[in-house]
Amino acid sequence: MENALVPFVISAVISFFMTPIAKKLAVKIGAVDIPKDERRVHNKPMPLLGGLAIYIAVIITSLLFLPKDRTLISIIVGGSIIFVSGFFDDIKELSPKGKLIFQLVAAIVLILGDVKIDAITNPLDRPGAVLSLGIFAVPITIFWVVGITNTLNLIDGLDGLAAGVAMIASLSFSLVANKFNYIPVIIMSAIVAGACTGFLPYNFNPAKIFMGDTGALFLGFIMAALSIEGVMKSVATIAVVVPIIILGVPIFDTTFAIFRRLLNGKSIAEADKGHLHHRLLKLGFSQRKTVLILYSISAIFGIIAIFISDANSNRAFYVAVIVFLITVILASKMGLITGRKGDKNE
């Protein structure tokens, strides 16, 4: 892990000093979020484009410390495509179809760089058994990349939430990779964690700037790439459930949101106030306490993932099933899956 300390610090420093510049740029070009519906938890205009600082920190530090091979180039190019889509969306909203096109292109760029899911562990077979995906590798990779890219954006509803969860997830990926001495993944995960750390002083409640789609979509894309390159391409060693657990907070919250909207006859793209952070706020927790609770949940998921990362795939699968069942039961009790009767806009 000593290989990751310097990149982490440099990325954090770049992000920290770039954020005020991004804030000034956002105000100058009108990339400002104006609260216009009851889903917003802030009551004053807030500059977006905080993701610009995160993007610059990740790109510069990656080029300084990582081998400039096909994998890195595909991640940088794909991430830049996502960044551009988020940048335009923060200035003038892109349609969901427009964003999807950008995401599909970025996912294809990753695949061309050989960052794809070729196989997964088979928990129903002997320990270490691998199931080759064959012709399904490309569509499954695209589904994973597009899905994870959007999950982080969907939880970006409170000051510091998405940045903190991304930081914790990145550190978890780095620690898992450290177990198997995957140096590039250790370093890149630390770089992403550093970029989020440098941004958080400006984004934690009370926030001075939001990361916007510029940051949330970019970080989601990088999380998807890290999970493939660092975990899923090593399925003979690491169970495929590990990245799902590491990204448990955004994945479960997004999955429950999709089911909730379908059960209530709404479009899955229709925003609501049924996310976990909305529920915690309704229970009376402050923004800060809600975010810290979600940090804690994310950290617990990360610890579980690190613990089972070197277990055989069968044992990891059973642990994942237990985690999933507990999560579903708790989510159901909180109304995350069906929504509670009498709650508007859910």
From residue 344, give the alpha-carbon distance in Å to each of 38, 222, 256, 317: 10, 35, 17, 38
Dihedral sign (CA 245, 246, 250, 254): negative
Q: Are 177 and 199 in contact (CB under 8 A)?
A: no
Q: Please, are residues 273 and 38 in contact by the beta-carbon 8 Å criterion?
A: yes
Contact present, 260 and 337 (Cβ < 8 Å): yes
Question: How many angstroms from the chain centroid is the CA of residue 122?
Answer: 25
Tokens (6 digits) for 23:
């804030």
The answer to whether 64 and 10 are in contact (CB under 8 A) is: yes
282 Cβ contact list (under 8 Å, min separation 6): none
213 is in an annotated binding site: yes
**Share in percent of the chain as helix, strand, coil (round to 5):** 70, 5, 30
**Cα distances (angstroms) measured from residue 106 to each of 82, 177, 222:** 7, 24, 11
Q: What span, in angstroms and rounded, lies between the C-alpha atoms of 73 and 113?
A: 7
Assess contact for 199 and 162: CB atoms under 8 A. Answer: no
CA end-to-end span of the chain, whole Å?
A: 44
Residue 313 in tokens: 């795939």
Query: Among 65, 286, 250, which Cα is nearest to 154's?
Result: 250
Q: Report the C-alpha gap between 158 and 263 in whole angstroms.
A: 25
Query: What backbone phi and psi angles, to 5 degrees, belong to 317?
Result: -65, -45
Please give the annotated binding residues, written as ranges. Answer: 153, 213
Please give the annotated binding residues for Mg(2+), written as ranges. Answer: 153, 213
